[in-house]
Amino acid sequence: MLASASRATYVVRINRVVNYISAHLADPLDLDTLADVAHFSPWHFHRVFQGMTGETLADCVRRHRLEAAAKLLLAQPPQTALHIALTVGFASPEVFSRTFKAHFDCTPTAWRAGAWAAWAEKHNAHLHPNQVRKNYQDHRKEGQENALHFRQTSVLSHFTEGHTMQVEIKTLPATRVAYLRNIGAYGNHGIPKAWDKFTQWCGARGLMTPARTMWGVGHDDPTITAPAHCRYDCCIEVDDQFLPEGEIGVQTIAGGQYACTLFTGNSSTIAAAWMQLFGQWMPSSGYQPANSISLEMYPAGFASEFSSTGNFTFWLCAPVKPL
């Protein structure tokens, strides 16, 4: 009992530190400052963090910097490796280049030129992400006339055959939420269980009213981040008075412009829906992905729909900015 209670407090503190890392990549992220964020002594924090996450603090910081850089390398318009290195917190391009190669098995420029596909294939072949991103890049190169000529993977074709995605651009406000984090592969693995646990907790707290929106937040790009490190947060809107409780933390979902489409499915088909939105709608939309986090927005009642039909209806919301 005591052990699980203290484990829960460790979880929220580690979550807070990881959130801090990804939000402050360009700032100093040494052991002392991060231990301070966690309210632990540096020595104890180091032990706790490694024990619970499987990676040391320095490894975690380095990985987040590299993953952010990997995204920026594929962004438009292209920026120099030096600029990207500094943006994500490396002090010099030499260290960036060396460290990048050690992690991704290729140099930054090779990644940009196409080596990302091999990485994605190696680590997440089941998601077929390469084709999606390739569609996007091919389109950007070849121009509008080929916008609709996407080679379809077997996963995609089920959703694209004779079907046009209805997408609207919404401006969402910043939202304070309580969340339960699942760390592990996206898809039908730990996430459904996390939702069970979370909705039970919400029910017990009387939070599951029709007025409250629930959210699913995937912080990581599964074509870049290893499945074992992908973060997914089950979230529900809360007011300013709500405080963290057990392993339920509090964070703010970023506001801004999102491309939103209504989708009915379940945890096995969400990935394909995301691919359709990014790989098919996005390239011909006049918008591009913004450097923010994609959201799943669940209207109240999705849980009961799921228990009766095996599916649920929700909004996919991808952060966008004009081309």
Residues 109-128 that bind DNA (CB under 7 A): 109-110
How far apart CA 60 and CA 229 sit, in angstroms, is 10
Q: Which of 22, 107, 146, 288 binds DNA (CB under 7 A)?
A: 107
Residue that has been written with the tokens 């506001």 in this structure: 255
Which of the ranges 49-57, 118-126, 145-153, 296-304 carries the binding residues for DNA, by CB under 7 A?
49-57
Q: Which residues pair with 178 in a beta bridge?
A: 236, 250
Which of the ranges 28-36, 210-218, 289-297, 304-312 carries the binding residues for DNA, by CB under 7 A?
28-36
Q: Which of 93, 227, 246, 256 binds DNA (CB under 7 A)?
A: 93
Question: Per CB under 7 A, does 174 bind DNA?
Answer: no
Pairing outcome for strands 214-218 and 294-298: antiparallel
Torsion of CA 73, 77, 78, 82, to 10 degrees: -90
How far apart CA 152 and CA 166 sit, in angstroms, is 19
Residues 60-89 that bind DNA (CB under 7 A): 62, 80-82
Shortest Å, Cβ 82 to DNA: 4
Q: Is 58 helix (H, G, I), strand (E, B) or coil?
A: helix
Which of the ranges 27-35, 157-165, 295-303, 306-314 carries the binding residues for DNA, by CB under 7 A?
27-35
Question: Per CB under 7 A, does 103 bind DNA?
Answer: no
User: Among candidates 279, 236, 300, which has minimal Cα distance to 120?
Assistant: 279
Give the interface size with DNA as a residue count (CB under 7 A).
33
Structure token digits, residue 284? 């011909």
Q: Which is nearer to DNA, 30 or 245 (CB)?
A: 30
Element (H, E) at 271: helix 270-276
Residues 196-225 that bind DNA (CB under 7 A): none
